[in-house]
Amino acid sequence: MEFARLAHTFEELEGTSSRLALIELLTQLFRAIERPEEVQQVCYLVQGRVAPFYVALEMGMAETSVTRSLAQAYHTTPEQMETALTESTAQIHVVDREAQARSVTLDARIDVELSSVTDRANARYRLAIDHLRRIVEELQHQQRELDLGAS
């Protein structure tokens, strides 16, 4: 399946509130899938995922631990860091809404296979998580060294 077809269907789904229309759009999408192995990938993407729930594509750290580590790294309190993160997230949502308002429907001539898109998304997601994990571990290590030096 071409990724442009999938993206177009997702755009139609977002603009539809009728349950029957949603079912019809999804039915058409699944009927358009030519290769059986793509059914699974489309199912994950429809759910907003790139892999099944049991695949550990998460950082493996609690949100409070990350917030606490970032707060220590930036010499602030966890509460102030939480506020900053909340404000940043709100700003990201505003930018996303503005981008969607200006977005142009994907050109149907784009010939990208769905499997290559999901493979690249998985790889980039894992690289980003690994990078973030290393940063947090380094910050925690530096904080431990500072704590030992202060003792």
pLDDT digits (tens, 9 = 90+) for 120-140: 777 777 777 777 777 777 777
* Residue 135 lies in domain: 3-150
Average pLDDT over every residue of 22-35 = 91
pLDDT of residue 109: 44
pLDDT of residue 26: 92
How many domains would you assign to the chain?
1
Q: HSE on the CB side for 85, CA within 13 Å?
A: 16
Residue 45 CB contacts under 8 Å (≥ 6 apart), including other chains = 6, 10, 114, 118
Helix or strand run (H / E) with residue 20? helix 19-31
Interval 77-98: pLDDT, tens: 888 878 877 777 666 666 666 6
For the whole model, what pTM was predicted?
Answer: 0.42
